[in-house]
Amino acid sequence: MFAYFFLALRDLLDCAEHSRRDAYLAEAVDMVELERRMRLLDAND
């Protein structure tokens, strides 16, 4: 039971993180800004 809860919580947090990153990338005004933001996210991983 605990393992199922842990996996469900992990999936929920992964989904929230992906949504946050998608929103951040969507705010870029041009391709240069988008690429800069993508590099920044990659560097933080």
Give the predicted TM-score (pTM) of the model.
0.77
What string of DSSP letters covers 1-30? -HHHHHHHHHHHHHHHHHHHHHHHHHT-SS
pLDDT tens readout for residues 11-45: 999 999 999 999 999 999 999 999 999 999 999 87
Res 2 pLDDT > 90: no
Cα dihedral sign, 19-20-26-31 = negative
pLDDT for the residue numbered 45: 76
